[in-house]
Structure 1
Amino acid sequence: MIINELVAWLSDPEHWLSSTGLLAQTGRHLYYCVLSVLCASIIAMPIGLWIGHTGRGGATVVVLSNSLRALPTLGLVTLFVLVAGIGEAPTLAGLVILAIPAVLSGAYAGVQSVPAEVRDAAKGMGMTPMQQLWQVELPNAAPLLFGGVRTAMLQVVATASVAAYVGLGGLGSILLEGIKTYDYGQTLAAALCIALLAVLLDVLLSRLSRAVTPRGIRSGPPAAATSTG
């Protein structure tokens, strides 16, 4: 049975501790995912926050997000590899592009979700536009903003596995090797590790979102932040 093959494969210390084993490849997979989503956040989050704050370019966000989501990521990664050669950089570029739409949409939607009366209250307190964004809109937008990051992370975890087709390491390489050699125990072990990694990262981001979201916003409707001068 396939469960017996899974147990037998996982019972071999070599499959865990070697340079191409589960521990090493999980570390690589995690590195690719975190780096890709971090780069996407650095690019997309300020743009989404600015568009949400100013109300300008909202239609562009929707069109751009839908267009990027429609791109075949593996095809895009393959194109980058053909142009730039096999390596981490072209593959990671494709993963960053994959993550941008969810982060951009989350940041934009988060700021747009702040009620008008909250914005008006912030203005009435004499806050500058930048103070309104950082002290009022950003804290209120945190749940949706992190929701976008969580979505991006889940997409990248899955796609990074497929990117092993073009030479990227990580858990995808173990998965593909198992498929090629008809080693179902290895294939299932890699698939389970990918699923567990996705769940773990989602839980961690959920905890982080809760930690940075003000308690009043978690427990009730958004409210204007108190001016600290």
Structure 2
Amino acid sequence: MTFIDTLFAAYTHLVTHFDEFLGLLQEHLTLVLVSVGLAIAVAVPLGIVATRNERTKSIVMGLGNISQTIPTLAIIALVFPLLGLGFFPALVGLFTYALLPILTNTVAGLENVDENTIEAARGMGMTERQIMRKIKLPLALPVIFAGIRTSAVLNVGTAYLAFFIGGGGLGVWVITGISLFDTPQLLAGAIPGALLAIGLDSLFALAEGRLSGESTTEQSPAAG
């Protein structure tokens, strides 16, 4: 069977099992978006706190580095004895894996804001909270969004491993296809995942551009 024949067989498998595909795609997308959303809600505030105190920064970054150095499959294996099987344990594992890129980029973005701009804002009487909201965060936004995009794309691939603890997603087709030497089924699960990663990266890039454009009026002390 040629590669073109294999691709056609994968397309045929997807069409003939389209309802199942939609269910798996929905599970996969939910795992990625919810885990990244939770990681944003936790990592960005932690990053803000970390920039205010070197000791806190070392603790926070240390915990983040630990979460990232553990292999992905090991994270899945660790949450299984604690939380059992199903969607929620897979979500916890993906959330843990998504933290570090957002956390490190938040810290890097905030710390690289020009000190002269910050001093000018202080000279105009802005409080530290105002400086964070109107100066630092808008200027750090592109770097923070780069971390969010990285986490989203990584978690699209990592979510395939949710299959091993009953988390569902497109990994059901990919891992089953590998187990049965069923290349069409494998590709029917893998190709949509690749397209999903490209699509999410493009959407986050678009959102980054719009938010950066809207925040330009807040990027100088005079705008406050």
Q: TM-score when scaled to structure 1? A: 0.89
Partner of 1:147: 146
Which AA in structure 1 matches 2:195?
Answer: L
8 Å contact 1:74–1:163 — kept in the other structure? no
8 Å contact 1:49–1:111 — kept in the other structure? yes
Partner of 2:222: 226
Q: CA deviation at 1:5?
A: 2.4
Note the alpha carbon deviations across 1:134-184, whole angstroms, 9 max, x for none. 000000000001011111111211110122122111111111111122111
Partner of 1:67: 66
Task: Provide the rounded CA distance (Å) in 1 between the counterparts of 2:221 and 2:185.
Answer: 52
Task: Provide the rounded CA distance (Å) in 2 between the counterparts of 1:179 and 1:10.
Answer: 17
Partner of 1:9: 10
Q: CA deviation at 1:61?
A: 4.0
Partner of 1:113: 112
Task: Provide the rounded CA distance (Å) in 2 between the counterparts of 1:225 and 1:214.
Answer: 17
Q: Any idea what SS the aligned residue of 1:169 has? A: coil
Q: Any idea what SS the aligned residue of 1:165 has? A: helix
Task: Provide the rounded CA distance (Å) in 2 between the counterparts of 1:31 and 1:123.
Answer: 43
The change in CA–CA distance for 1:183 and 1:76 in structure 2 (over 3 A counts) is same
**Percent identity over paired residues:** 32
Which AA in structure 2 matches 1:11?
Answer: T
Q: CA deviation at 1:107?
A: 0.9
Partner of 2:213: 214
Q: Any idea what SS the aligned residue of 2:17 has? A: helix
Task: Provide the rounded CA distance (Å) in 1 between the counterparts of 2:62 and 2:195.
Answer: 33
Partner of 1:47: 46
8 Å contact 1:119–1:224 — kept in the other structure? no
Q: When the two structures are aligned, how many residues end up with a matched partner?
A: 220
Note the alpha carbon deviations across 1:192-223, whole angstroms, 9 max, x for none. 11111111101111111111013786xxxx95
8 Å contact 2:120–2:221 — kept in the other structure? no
8 Å contact 2:89–2:167 — kept in the other structure? no
Q: Any idea what SS the aligned residue of 1:214 has? A: helix
Q: CA deviation at 1:79?
A: 2.3
8 Å contact 1:68–1:98 — kept in the other structure? yes
Structure 2: unaligned runs, 5 residues or longer = none
Give the stretch that moved more between structures: 77-86 or 208-217: 208-217
Partner of 1:198: 197
Q: CA deviation at 1:87?
A: 1.3
Structure 1: unaligned runs, 5 residues or longer = none
8 Å contact 2:113–2:136 — kept in the other structure? yes
Which AA in structure 2 matches 1:4?
Answer: D
Task: Provide the rounded CA distance (Å) in 2 between the counterparts of 1:2 and 1:187.
Answer: 13
8 Å contact 1:171–1:194 — kept in the other structure? yes
The change in CA–CA distance for 1:214 and 1:117 in structure 2 (over 3 A counts) is farther
Q: Any idea what SS the aligned residue of 2:130 has? A: helix
Say whether 1:58 aligns with 2:60.
no
Q: Any idea what SS the aligned residue of 1:25 has? A: helix
Which AA in structure 2 matches 1:211?
Answer: R
Give the stretch that moved more between structures: 142-151 or 71-80: 71-80
Note the 1:128-207 alignment, pairs <5 A: 128-207=127-206
RMSD value over aligned CA atoms?
1.9
Task: Provide the rounded CA distance (Å) in 2 between the counterparts of 1:216 and 1:96.
Answer: 28
Partner of 1:87: 86
